[in-house]
Amino acid sequence: MTVLVLDAAQVHQLLTPEAALHAMREALAALAHDEVHQPLRMIVRPPAAAGLMGVMPSYRSGHEAAYGLKAVCVFPDNPTIGKDAHQGAVLLFSAATGELQALMNASAITEVRTAAVSAIATDLLARPDAGDLAVIGTGVQGRAHLRAMAGVRTLRRVRVVGRDPARTEAFAAEAAALLSLSVQACSSVAEAVDGADLIVTATTSAEPVLRRNWISPGAHINAVGSSVPTAREIDTATMAEASLFVDRRESTLNESGDYLFAAREGAIGPDQIRAELGAVLIGAAPGRTDDNEITLFKSLGLAVEDLVAADHLYREAQRHGTGTWVSF
């Protein structure tokens, strides 16, 4: 038996933003059509450790049947030393024999697929004329979301903000080169989101970074940074007033700090969730209903997204002769 190994550079080569959009639409539709078996992720959080480990298994049935498993460590302080907060691997297994088929860099897959799902949410939920973008967070996901947002909306203005002013300035310069337009580095979140109709929160903060009174009518928010019950980026007032869309309802009710903090404060309940994104994608649920409502997509990241991305990468690596094949 041989196993494919793909490093980060090879993942980026094969999982282009366009390919990721197609794969994530496929993953979300499969979930909406009940073709996915996906337990809640298991979190290993040792009391004195610097980070945590998440274990995310999934199975997809049908013609593209496969098993997948992502094991990822999340170290929130990694960006301060120039590393992605997410470190780990995605494993792909044959649905026919259970044999291991591939081992792939999880940081790169997470980076690309997360931004692609936000792009799908933006395409489905943001106003068609939205183009004033604010990105909160200057790490890997902030960078990936700049490109993803530009792929689904024509950007007129871009503002970015992070914890470190020097890093924010450098990030703005990098973004300007990437997007071929002017990008403003802001000194506060309030300044960055003033008048914005597209907002991305991609931070490692445990406390809210976005406040309701800063958000303009009709804005669409992609809340990406928090994926654990103990951290949130969005304040309670925003969670209560926004039209809330999620990648998966069960995951949100059990794993989303943005949701759970607001629920414990009595501001929202399960009925606040308008729909899963896959249901909107396949036409089973409505999206935005008017130009003035604030729509919010709470992204947790799903194991099926990693599985479908890995399956795509496996087939593309075979087709292009990319990667390292090792005996196992």
**225 phi, psi to nearest 5 deg:** -70, -40
Averaged pLDDT of the chain: 96
Over residues 229-255, the pLDDT tens digits come to 999 999 999 999 999 999 999 999 999
Amino acid identity at 276: E
pLDDT given for residue 196 in this prediction: 98
pLDDT given for residue 82 in this prediction: 82
What is the C-alpha separation between 208 and 325, in angstroms, rounded? 44
Mean pLDDT for the stretch of residues 164-191: 95
Mean pLDDT for the stretch of residues 167-177: 95
Q: What is the pTM of this model?
A: 0.95
Superfamily, domain 115-302: NAD(P)-binding Rossmann-like Domain (3.40.50.720)
What is the C-alpha separation between 117 and 224, in angstroms, rounded? 10
What is the C-alpha separation between 202 and 138, in angstroms, rounded? 8
pLDDT given for residue 78 in this prediction: 87
Which runs of E-coded beta strand occur in 166-240? 183-185, 198-201, 220-223
Q: What is 2-110+304-327's CATH topology? A: ornithine cyclodeaminase, domain 1 (3.30.1780)
What is the C-alpha separation between 178 and 174, in angstroms, rounded? 6
Over residues 1-44, the pLDDT tens digits come to 899 999 999 999 999 999 999 999 999 999 999 999 999 999 99
Over residues 184-236, the pLDDT tens digits come to 999 999 999 999 999 999 998 999 999 999 999 999 999 999 888 999 999 99
pLDDT given for residue 71 in this prediction: 97
CA dihedral (227, 299, 146, 164) positive or negative:
negative
pLDDT given for residue 63 in this prediction: 84
Location of each CATH 3.30.1780.10 domain in the chain: 2-110+304-327
pLDDT given for residue 84 in this prediction: 81
Location of each CATH 3.40.50.720 domain in the chain: 115-302
Mean pLDDT for the stretch of residues 149-155: 96
- 162 pLDDT exceeds 90? yes
